[in-house]
Amino acid sequence: MRFEEAKERITQAINSLAPLVQEQDREMLSEVEHKLRENKFNLVVLGQFKRGKTTFINALLGQKLLPSAILPLTSIVTLLEYGPQMEVQVHFLDGKVKKIKHEEIKLYVTEKENPKNEKGVKYVRVLHPAPILKKGIILVDTPGVGSLYENNTDVTYGFLPRVDAGVFLLTVDPPLSKEEIAFLKDVYPHVERIFFVLNKVDYVDSDDLQEVMEFALGNLKDALGSNHIPIYPLSAKMALEGRIQKDQGKVGRSGITELEKALEDFLLKEKGSIVLRSSANKVLSLLSTLLFRVDLEIKAATTPLEELEEKIGRFQEIKEEIAQERRDSEFLFKGEIDSLIKIVNNDMERFRTQKIPKIYSRLMEVFQANKHKGSLELSKLLDQAMKEILVKEFDQMVIQENEKVNAEYSRIARRFADKVNGIIDQLMTLAAELFEIPLERFQVEESITEESALWYKLEDRPKLLDLEGAGKFISYSILPSAVVHKKIKAELQKKLPEKVDMNCGRVRSDFVDRITKSAMELRWGMEQKMNQTVAFVEEAIQKALSLREKSQEEVNAALNALKEKKRLLEGTKNQLKEILEERREKAA
């Protein structure tokens, strides 16, 4: 069964269920259908400045859309996704959106036209009818790493939580740098799949190309600790020219076809299978719950009243026992969150105590190298040096701390979610055993993301550093040099700890705020899920009890309706299980 056919059958199952479920369940089904229908994933293009990223993206699109900049791009991400017609939107930091012509993109994304992002651009979104985008790929053009603009690399790091797959561009001139190796070591663990592309292969002959490929592959294997690293040789320039000229021979010789096939295979066989499996299991989980409810209503309506009341009493006892387990798990969860906050506090204090002396030492090196200069010039040099050092140190620290906190929070959150889900399963199982009803459970592939995951959203990353007046040293031009130098040093010793303390406080506050909010949202969500499960069982019992007050004719009609509903639900369940089994066989 092909991906599209399987997707259509799951969608049909969802539509057939909609009239049979409550509004809350209809909303869940609608969300599953939306994700199934969209089936998009972010393909992020990574690489150093001047590796040909822009030409590569234009080649995938089949036209010269994005500008090739002589200067590095600013810290701005460009998102390219499918649209029946070309449309370019500039999204600004203040929330405004402006439609522009595609020829105007360079006015917002290049350093030349938008120095230091003075126009306040958040990101640029391009809708384009390119075939590759229609397959569910969102191309993400990130600023080049390793340029003079260090924040560009930070922006790329910040986008990692939203990366489904990456294309990392290398070139034959040179094939791999120390900066790229360092960046890849940081990136590789966070990205499900990276496609390595060796660009500009038209610059070398076949013998040299083989040598370059072996060199790049050897270094990548050593750096990343993996033996399975396919590299796709490519001439993005040739591919773009071939598509513009409609020269299929040139397109074929460029090597881009092989890469696109690999990307499509990833989408259909891996990403597509994950989406299908996840969607089918979510619907099957709901079906299992609905079937349990139907069986419970039938059982409660046909069980002798005395026996039924005994079972209801026992269920209330079970409910209390389960509630205590939930309270215990919440207590442990809170303790682990408090420990995580303590880790952040300790890390900030460690950073402060370790970095202040080192930064001061580096500033003294600047001082010694320039103390022969006038006091005004010397103070300006120290001011600039302090800003640059602090920005770099804090940016590196935030990236590392963010990764550490993310990993620890995900571990804590997953354990808590698994514990509560286990309690809910236990409650359902005990209820099924009590009322002698079959219960089939399906594993839903959940992840701690969006609602409860902890990471910097690119557009919301706070401006942590308050460096205004970081070193505003007084110019003592009328005093002897020795006196001036002494006062400047004293000013440094005062200002540096102040700035480090202030920004450590901001970083600490930001992390603690996000940890606390994420934990509250997760705890609230799991509590709601638990309460809904209890209410679900109690409502089914109450509905059956109410039915007992009806006439025998009404009872028979209600029971027949329940049996017909059960037949429809079981038919849909069997269809979905068949789809899952076929996908498993296909994968095998």
Instruction: For residue range 232-291, list pLDDT tens digits in order.
Output: 999 999 999 999 999 999 999 999 999 988 887 777 667 667 677 777 887 887 888 888
pTM of the model: 0.52
pLDDT at 413 over 90: no
Q: 463 falls in which pLDDT band (50, 70, 90)?
A: very low
Rounded distance between C-alpha atoms, residue 575 and residue 280, angstroms:
10
Average pLDDT over residues 411-416: 83
More confident residue, 80 or 117: 80
Strands (DSSP E) found in 60-110: 77-82, 87-92, 97-100
Q: What is the pLDDT of residues 67-110, one digit of tens each?
A: 865 444 555 788 898 899 999 999 987 788 999 998 898 888 87
At residue 146, φ and ψ (nearest 5 deg) are 80, 10
105 phi-psi bin (left φ>0, alpha ψ -120 to 50, beta other): alpha
Tell me how far CA of residue 169 lies from CA of 132, 141, 216, 314, in angstroms: 18, 12, 12, 64
Cβ contact 176:214 at 8 Å: no
Most confident of 83-92, 307-316, 402-411: 83-92
Tell me how far CA of residue 28 lies from CA of 35, 90, 382, 581, in angstroms: 11, 32, 58, 24
Average pLDDT over residues 334-347: 94
How buried is residue 275: exposed, middle or buried, by Cβ count under 10 Å (0-12/13-18/19+)?
buried
Residue with token string 């700890």:
497
- Among 168, 141, 162, 224, CA closest to 48: 168
Q: Judging by DSSP bridges, how do beta strands 231-233 and 194-199 pair with one another?
A: parallel
pLDDT at 168 over 60: yes
Could you tell me how far CA 22 lies from the centroid of its own chain? 31
Rounded distance between C-alpha atoms, residue 540 and residue 544, angstroms:
6
Q: Judging by DSSP bridges, how do beta strands 165-171 and 194-199 pair with one another?
A: parallel
More confident residue, 227 or 290: 290
Q: Return the pLDDT at 176.
A: 75
Average pLDDT over residues 516-529: 80
Q: What is the DSSP letter of 227?
A: S
Rounded distance between C-alpha atoms, residue 83 and residue 171, angstroms:
31
More confident residue, 451 or 477: 477
More confident residue, 587 or 138: 138
Computed over every residue of the chain, the mean pLDDT equals 79
Q: What is the pLDDT of residues 545-576, one digit of tens each?
A: 888 788 888 888 988 998 998 898 888 888 88
pLDDT at 452 over 50: no
Q: Return the pLDDT at 191.
A: 67
Average pLDDT over residues 175-181: 75
Rounded distance between C-alpha atoms, residue 293 and residue 539, angstroms:
9
